[in-house]
Amino acid sequence: MTPEQITQVIQGGQWVSITTELRPSSNKSATGEIQPFYCSRVFTYSPPDRFACTVMNYADPNGKVPLVKIVIKGHNAWGESTRLHQARTTLITLQMKRMR
């Protein structure tokens, strides 16, 4: 598929985790074991090439105790990577909000 065809297919789409996900964490226990990262994700793609992804981190595997909400917003630049494109990708907004 071309970038234009991909854009048409995903435009206005939203993808939501169907259950709490178990992802590996960079944190390790005192014994060196990798700690679990329980999360759910919502990804939205809208015109013109904008996206938003919300990741909710949980303390438990059932997703009942929220810890942190991470909101990532940005835009896609289709085509070859350029210096301008590389600079823009570093400017993607990352907001972390601690849950109360």
Quick one: which H or E segment has residue 10?
helix 3-10
CA distance 78 to 15: 21
Tens of pLDDT along 10-20?
778 888 999 99
CA distance 54 to 70: 6
What is the reported pLDDT for 43? Answer: 92
What is the reported pLDDT for 80? Answer: 63
CA distance 35 to 53: 23
Tens of pLDDT along 10-55?
778 888 999 999 988 888 888 888 888 999 999 998 888 888 999 9
Number of domains in the chain: 1
Domain that holds residue 57: 3-25+33-98
